[in-house]
A and B are shown apart, each in its own frame.
Chain A
Amino acid sequence: MATASVNGRTVDLPEDDEPLLLDVLRDRLGLTGAKLVCGAGVCGACTVLIDGAAVVSCLMPAKAAAGKTVTTVEGIGAPELHPVQRAFMAQDALQCGFCTPGFIVEAKAFYDEWRTKHGAVAPSREDIGAAFCGHLCRCGAYDNIYRAIVDACAGAYDRAGREAPRLGARDKVTGAAVYTHDIRHEGQLEGVILRSAHAHARVAALDLSVAQRMPGVKAAVSLLDASRTVTFVGDPIAAVAAADRETAERALGAILVQFEALAAAIGPEAALAPGAAVVFPRGKGLKYNAGEGGNSPASWNGNLRGPVSAFSLRRKTARKAIDAARAANDPLLVEGVFRTSAQQHNSLEPHVAVAHFDGEDLTVEVSTQAVSALGAEIAKHFKLDPARVRVLAQHVGGGFGSKGAMRFETIAAIELAKVARAPVRVAFSRHEELSVAGYRPAVELRIALLPARDGSLSALSLTAHSDAGVAANNTVAGLARLIYTAQAKELLDYDVISNLPPGSPFRGPGGPPMAFALEQAIDEAALRLGQDPIALRKRWDANPARARLYDWAMGLDVWKARTAPSGEGRYRRGVGVAAGYWLYLWQADTKAELSVIGGRLVASLAVQDIGTGTRTVIADTLAREFGLDPSEIEVRLGDSKLPLGPGSGGSRVTASIVPTLLEASAKLKARVQGAPAAGGNAPWRARLAASPDLSVIAGRPADAKRNIYGNASLLHEAGIVGRLFGWMLRFQQKLAVGAGAPSSVQVIEVEVDTWLARVRVLRAWSGIAVGKLAAPALARNQAAGAFYQSLGHALYEGREIDSRTGRVLSVNLDDYRTPGIGDAPPIEVHFEESGFDHVPGGSVGIGEVASVPTPAALANAVRNAIGVRPQEIPIRPDRLLALLKGAAHVDGR
């Protein structure tokens, strides 16, 4: 039998030709550090060393390893961490950590070779960009990855030294962190889902009996609801669990389904065409919600839902002013149509759940953004006692909005586990992940913006048509109410329903598309008024935190050196700016338990760390309160049995948990103070050590009544409708919208290659106002990552479909193109820490606001470079060429 040496151990390789090395490592040897993500050699998450050379194990036949030395991430760093591991930890070169093992393996090989060839000198950004182009990080930790590799090669980490600022980093750089996708219980079955090949059909008959009887098959269940109707290609029909994936997939082929095809409408254009098939007559049958709130009432006209116009301000006045300006050919009237594409979340850990019943007790390990809410949702859906449902998520490989609610991986795993009476794992393939797991809806935005003669903003009209397939409730245009003061605003939101998979919330839902139109219109207005675009924003924008960010941006050398487009030369440079905001949300029913256990401080709450650094936010907050080192604090999370915590969505976690932890700290201090063994003025470390075990629970205290904004909630700026909306959120979801707005202003410098139609981002500046930084060492990483992800949307990322069949075509990571490390420009992150002093602790979330202005800032930079305005993202080479060709006359302003 052929053998290989794996991390120093001789192992037998399978005799069979078929198995791939990654599957052998993960499934037979239990080495789950290497991850299966793309399965196509694109993302590098499965990278291992074969005789010292880094290769992708997802494509390598296992038998090809015969006689060779295989090193996985588990084989690096024992007994002592490798310098690149120390560097990744100290420089915080990771977020969710799912790509990290692949990067570490490549970095070890790169470091070893670099040091042999060059000694302890720093490689260039270009060297690293080329060497690591076979690795993708979806969180966008690229800037810190650069720093880590540079510093490690230069010798800064040859000896052990600096600690990691991120809790759990060591487990992530050594491959020890176990994600849901890595879980292998004894007797665990693998579940797969049968999906519709039709865009619209009724399932006339479904026969599972043949599949059920196949050897190795332990359960086969229907996933159809009472309507027995499938409304998109990929709509779930049934699921099968078997001992292994191959058997389960074979069984899917044995399920007999009879479809009655129904007329389909695929894509917004077809959905709005005369005579189009109506997907949900008057909304009947609508199941999916692309927004984060409940489905708000709206009118239906065929496949068109809306308009929702509640956030307008003197709507008719706005309409009249714009119509009059158009009739008068007012040169200040800016009008345009802008389009943003569907952006896939593409979390590197797919949607995955492992469900298992123990009597009446259900445990679901799941890659989720919301352990608390998901537990409640499961109990409700399956009619179970909430006390007997437990949701666990220790490490989550990214979410970005796509893992906020119960999805079919969870439903199928539970249904199958119920029948099979065994643990069942259901994990989406990358194909499923990139087609049916949700996406940021595509939007068409029609904008008209009218400055008055006196330079104020007279009227704004923004109409958004969102394309979220079979999902509704998009709010895009409405978001324009809460930034820039105008005399009147007409803000209309429509959903165009069609037989495509459902869109879902994605990092700042509606924010980047809204900004893409609004911030370009303002840029255009500034050109026409002959004003500095930042100065004009400052004039129209009443927010005091953004005013400080505008001052910062205006002071940047790159901004001061900005010139009008020349229209000449192959390479053309430009600089653009855009602003953005997000809502300051907090979960009003957040609880936290703070305990002293054996002299150690333990924080427990049912939140999850999806790579945003929640563990660290908790530890850093308590460390400051008690004068401890964060590593001295034990953080328990990722378990729905713990006191209720917020979901990782709406940037609400920091603003929900920091005040709660401060409240709990005060309570605990009072208890420890009063305990007999505690010494009066000793440091808290000593007093905790001497304290008997005890525990307190606190809720989220309210914000201070007085703040610099003069109202209790940003929504109050939207009048009575805003108040009503705020009240509904508070009542239905226990979600509060506080005063002030997390804000951002970004400046981007680009170089456009007019021959090869490529936009290269040279440098970026991101100014962020989110109050005091709760985890200062991690904040920059998250802000930069949000920027890079949004840059992907602006330049590369677009879902592509076949418009005849409704199939998604961009279902692999060759065709769905996310930024690599070579696409990540140097970025300077500037934090403006004032503005949230009314929040206990003074901190709100970064994750969403840091992504909102990016596509608009990029487009404004391209406009400044080539004199033509990009109206559609991603700005692919073909679109850039069309812009350059259409520019018979380059506008030199």
Chain B
Amino acid sequence: MSMAADPTRPEYRAAGTDLSERRRSGVSRGALLDVAAPAGVEPTPDGGLRLGALTTIAALAADPAIRAGYPGLAAAAAGLATPQIRRMATLGGNIAQRNRCWYFRNPDIACLKKGADACPARAGNALYAVAFDSAPCVAPHPSTLAAALLAYDARLDTNQRRDAPIAEALGDGRAASAETALRPGELITAVALPAPASNERAFYKRAIGRAHAEWPLVELVLRASVEGGVFAGLRLVAGGVAPVPLRLQAAEAAALGKPATATTFAAAAAAAIEGANPLPQSRYKLDLLQGLVLDLLEQAASQG
């Protein structure tokens, strides 16, 4: 978990799966603050769950209560990184991890997130850049769990505030110093999920070149309830395309109340890219986003 643009400022460390790589390369050089925070999954009085920030990704993916009530979160946890990473990496660390931009990760290159005044990717090689270009930095948000948690209206506790909506903690992606709106010194301690919806299905999928173990070009979390062949509830959150996980409200609106048929899927896919402003090299991500919307809507309609 991090909080610094200045590479010499202190950083929180949970399992270290992100930070250790940046320290080995020299991108991050500040003091280490090993975090103490709860791990584990507990029910809350309102019927929801409270997830300790140090719960591992593997534990989230395997937890029966998460799998039953929040299958999109369980699937997202099971679908990220590699098994070895999932056994170590934590919920809090995943949300607060730094981006994967190859300019940011390269110790020899200056960039906005390392205190420089311009983004070298914007005018350079932007193959993996955002397609919804709404911040000075063009790196997509790296956290798969953040996208899933946004889809479930999760709220965060930190050492500085309680019960903050995750959208508030993630911010608008414009901060120069981090990929979240966490304040200096702020540390995620727990994540709360509201009571699960009934009659709902949820899915997660990422578009990648290889079969497994690749940072998503685009990823999508979908929650849907289908009643009488009609989409009665729908939530779509995309990752890999914007500086923060992106809720696709136009696509939701295009499908809500409509029959769960191919015509509706196509309308939702077309609406999914509303407002997109890709860089020339990242335009392809919009096609992948539409493909994912079609794929997951079709799955939602065909199951049960």
Would A809 and B125 count as touching, CB distance under 8 A? yes
List B28-69 residues whose CB lies under 8 Å from chain A. 32, 34
In the complex, the chain B residue whose C-beta lies closest to that of A129 is B211
Is there a chain B Cβ closer than 8 Å to A431's Cβ? yes
Instruction: Evaluate contact between B21 and A810: CB separation under 8 angstroms.
Output: no
The answer for the CA separation of A485 and B217 in the assembled complex, in Å, is 45
A284-292, A640-648, A818-826, A828-836: which lies at the interface: A818-826
- What is the minimal beta-carbon distance from B151 to any residue of chain A, in angstroms? 20
| A802 CB within 8 Å of chain B | yes
Q: Is A406 an interface residue (CB 8 A)?
A: no
Residue among A756, A809, A817, A878 making CB contact with B210, cutoff 8 Å: A817
Which of A17, A54, A877 is B87 in contact with, Cβ under 8 Å?
A54
Which partner residue on chain B sits nearest A802 by CB separation? Answer: B124
A39 in complex: contacting residue of B16, B21, B84, B215, CB < 8 Å: B21
Measured between alpha carbons, how far is A309 from B209 in the docked complex, in Å? 38
- Within 8 Å CB of B290, what residues of A? 755
Name the CB-closest residue of A to B215.
A814
Chain B 14-27 near chain A by CB (<8 Å), digits 1 or 0? 01110011011110
A59 CB-CB contact with B under 8 Å: yes
Q: Does B103 contact A (CB under 8 A)?
A: yes
Contact with A along B268-304 (1 / 0, CB 8 A): 0000000000000100100110111011000000000
Would you list the 7 A-B pairs with minimal beta carbon distance, nearest first? A134-B82, A822-B211, A755-B291, A133-B212, A878-B284, A133-B213, A59-B20
B213 to chain A, nearest CB (A): 4
Closest Cβ neighbor of A38 among chain B residues: B21
Say whether, besides A47-B84, A800-B125, A431 and B25 are in contact (CB < 8 Å): yes
Q: Chain B's nearest CB lies how many Å from the CB of A373? A: 33
A to B CB contacts below 8 Å, 23 in the list: A44-B82, A53-B87, A55-B84, A55-B88, A59-B20, A61-B16, A133-B83, A133-B213, A134-B213, A755-B294, A757-B287, A760-B211, A796-B209, A807-B106, A807-B109, A815-B102, A820-B213, A822-B210, A822-B213, A877-B207, A877-B284, A881-B287, A882-B284
Which of B100, B210, B284: most chain A CB closer than 10 A?
B210
Let me know if A318 is at the binding interface, CB within 8 A: no
A823 and B125 form a contact (CB under 8 A):
no
Within A335-365, the residues touching B (CB, 8 Å) are none
Residues on B with C-beta less than 8 A from A796 are 209-210
The answer to whether B120 has its CB under 8 Å from any CB of chain A is yes
- In angstroms, Cα B292 to Cα A874, docked, is 22
Please encode chain A, from 261 to 295, with 1 for each CB lying within 8 Å of some chain B CB and 0 for all others: 00000000000000000000000000000000000
Tell me which of A41, A801, A877 contacts B82 (CB under 8 A): A41
Docked Cα-Cα span, A638 to B287, in Å, equals 52
Q: How far is the CB of A708 from chain B (nearest CB, A)?
A: 43
Question: Cβ of A28 < 8 Å from any Cβ of B?
Answer: no
**Is A60 positioned at the interface, with any CB of B under 8 Å from its CB?**
yes
Chain B residues near A (Cβ < 8 Å): 13, 15-17, 20-21, 23-26, 32, 34, 81-85, 87-88, 100, 102-103, 105-106, 108-109, 120, 123-125, 127, 207-215, 217, 281, 284, 287-288, 290-292, 294-295
In the assembled complex, the Cα of A133 lies from the Cα of B79 at a distance in Å of 11
How far, in angstroms, from A497 to B83 measured CA to CA in the complex?
A: 43
- Complex Cα distance, B292 from A812, in Å, reads 27
Does the CB pair B34–A133 fall under 8 Å? no
Whether A20 touches B24, Cβ cut-off 8 Å, given contacts A197-B108, A877-B288, is: yes
Q: Which of B20, B25, B291 contacts A20 (CB 8 A)?
A: B20
Instruction: Let me know if B85 and A757 touch, CB within 8 A.
Output: no
Min C-beta distance of B80 to chain A, whole Å: 11
A316 interfacial by beta-carbon distance below 8 Å = no
Judge whether B21 and A59 touch: CB under 8 Å: yes
Given known contacts A41-B21, A61-B16, is B211 in contact with A133 (CB within 8 Å)?
yes
Q: Are B288 and A757 in contact (CB under 8 A)?
A: yes
CB nearest to A130 among chain B residues: B212
Q: A residues bordering B, Cβ < 8 Å?
A: 17-18, 20, 39-42, 44, 47, 53-56, 58-61, 63-64, 106, 129-131, 133-134, 197, 249, 431, 755-758, 760, 795-796, 800-805, 807, 809-812, 814-815, 817, 819-820, 822-823, 874, 876-878, 881-882, 885
Q: Are A61 and B211 in contact (CB under 8 A)?
A: no
Whether B212 pairs with A822 at a CB distance below 8 angstroms is yes
Contact A64 B15 (CB under 8 A): yes
| A60-B82 in contact (CB<8A) | no
Instruction: Give the nearest-CB partner of A39 in chain B.
Output: B24
Q: Please state if B209 and A877 are interface contacts (CB–CB under 8 Å).
A: yes
Specify which of A18, A803, A810 is in contact with B124 (CB 8 Å cutoff). Answer: A803
Q: Tell me whether A800 and B288 are in contact in the complex, defined as CB-CB below 8 angstroms, given that A130-B212, A756-B207 are known contacts.
A: no
Additional A-B contacts beyond A55-B87, A823-B211, A878-B281 (14; CB < 8 A): A64-B16, A106-B83, A106-B84, A129-B212, A134-B85, A431-B25, A758-B207, A758-B209, A800-B127, A812-B21, A822-B210, A877-B207, A877-B208, A877-B209
| Residues in chain A near residue B24, CB distance under 8 A | 20, 39, 58
Quote the shortest CB–CB distance from B201 to chain A (angstroms).
19
Residues of B within 8 A of A817 (CB): 209-210, 214
* B123 & A41 in contact (Cβ 8 Å cutoff): no
Contact B123 A804 (CB under 8 A): yes
**Which residues of A are found within 8 Å of B88, using beta-carbon distances?**
55-56, 59-60
Q: Give complex CA distance A243, B137 in Å.
A: 40
User: In the bound complex, how far is the Cα of B11 from the Cα of A792, in angstroms?
Assistant: 37
| A755 engages B124 (CB within 8 Å) | no
CB distance A54 to B83 under 8 Å? yes
Q: In whole angstroms, what is the CA distance A249 to B25 when docked?
A: 11
Tell which of A56, A431, A756, A801 touches B84, judged by Cβ atoms closer than 8 Å. Answer: A56
Q: Chain A nearest CB: distance from B138 CB in Å? A: 14
CA distance A810 to B100 in the complex (A): 12
- The residue in chain B whose Cβ has the minimal distance to the Cβ of A54 is B84
Q: Which residues on A sit within 8 Å (CB–CB) of B85?
A: 41, 56, 59, 134
Distance between Cα atoms of A811 and B24 in the complex (Å)? 14
- Residues of chain B within 8 A (CB-CB) of A820 are 210-213
User: How distant is the Cα of A871 from the Cα of B108 in the complex, in angstroms?
Assistant: 34
Q: What are the residues of chain B within 8 A of A882 when measuring CB–CB?
A: 284
Instruction: A431 to B102: give the CA distance in the assembly, Å.
Output: 12
Contact A809 B87 (CB under 8 A): no
Chain B residues near A803 (CB-CB < 8 A): 124-125
Output the residue of B23, B120, B125, B281 with the most chain A CB within 10 A.
Answer: B125
Residues in A neighbouring B21, C-beta threshold 8 A:
39-41, 59, 812
Q: Report chain A residues within 8 Å CB of B213.
A: 42, 133-134, 820, 822
A819 to B209, CA, bound (A): 10
The CA-CA distance from A756 to B83 in the complex, in Å, is 23
Contact A814 to B100, CB < 8 A, known contacts A56-B88, A755-B294? yes
